[in-house]
Chain A
Amino acid sequence: MSTEHLPEHPEFLWRNPDPKKSYDAVIVGGGGHGLATAYFLAKNHGMTNIAILEKGWLAGGNMARNTTIIRSNYLWDESAAIYEHSLKLWEILPEELEYDFLFSQRGVMNLAHTLGDVRESVRRVGANQLNGVDAEWLDPKQVKELCPILNINDNIRYPVMGATYQPRAGIAKHDHVAWAFARKCDELGVDIIQNCEVTGFIKDGNRVTGVKTSRGTINTEKVGLCAAGHSSVLAEMAGFRLPIQSHPLQALVSELHEPVHPTVVMSNHVHVYVSQAHKGELVMGAGVDSYNGYGQRGSFHVIEEQMAAAVELFPIFARAHVLRTWGGIVDTTMDASPIVGLSPVENMYVNCGWGTGGFKGTPAAGLTFAHTIATGTPHTLNKPFSLERFETGALIDEHGAAAVAH
Chain B
Amino acid sequence: MLLFSCPNCGPRNETEFHYGGQAHVAYPEQPEQLSDREWAEYLFYRENTKGLFAERWVHSAGCRKWFNMVRDTVSYEIKAVYRMGEQPPAIADRTQHNPSIPAPEGAKS
Query: B-contacting residues of A (Cβ < 8 Å)?
Result: 230, 232-233, 241-246, 290-295, 299-301, 333-334, 390-393
Contacts and interface: CB of A to CB of B under 8 A. Distances in A.
B76 A243 contact: no
B73 A299 contact: no
Contact of B2 (A243, A294, A299): A299
Given A294-B50, A295-B74, A390-B40, 18 more contacts: A242-B48, A243-B40, A243-B45, A244-B48, A245-B21, A245-B48, A291-B19, A291-B71, A291-B73, A292-B48, A299-B14, A300-B1, A301-B14, A390-B43, A391-B36, A391-B37, A392-B36, A393-B36
B55 A291 contact: yes
Interface of B: 1-2, 14-15, 18-19, 21, 36-37, 39-40, 43-46, 48-50, 53, 55, 71, 73-76, 105
A206 to B, nearest CB: 16
Contacts of A295: 73-76
SS class of chain A's interface: helix, strand, loop or mixed?
Answer: loop
Contact of A294 (B39, B45, B74): B74
Nearest to B39: A391
Contacts of B75: 295
Given A294-B74, A391-B36, A334 B105 contact: no
A392 B40 CA distance: 8
Contacts of B49: 292
Given A390-B40, A392-B36, A246 B48 contact: yes
A246 B51 CA distance: 12
Contacts of B43: 334, 390
Counting from the closest, the 3 A-B pairs by CB-CB distance are: A290-B19, A243-B44, A232-B48
SS class of chain B's interface: helix, strand, loop or mixed?
Answer: mixed
A51 B16 CA distance: 47
A292 to B, nearest CB: 5
A293 B78 CA distance: 12
Contacts of A392: 36
Contacts of A230: 50
A294 B49 CA distance: 9
B45 A241 contact: yes
Contact of A292 (B2, B37, B55): B55
Contacts of A293: 73-74, 76
B76 A334 contact: no
A193 B47 CA distance: 30
B43 to A, nearest CB: 7
Given A245-B46, A391-B40, A299 B1 contact: yes
Nearest to A241: B45
Contacts of A233: 48, 50
Given A293-B76, A294-B74, A301-B1, A390 B44 contact: yes
B15 A301 contact: yes
Contacts of B39: 391
A242 B41 CA distance: 10
Nearest to A387: B40
Given A301-B1, A301-B15, A292 B44 contact: no
Contacts of A299: 1-2, 14
15 contacts: A243-B40, A243-B44, A245-B48, A290-B18, A291-B19, A292-B53, A295-B73, A295-B76, A299-B14, A300-B1, A334-B43, A390-B45, A391-B36, A391-B40, A393-B36
Contacts of A390: 40, 43-45
B46 to A, nearest CB: 6
B44 A334 contact: yes
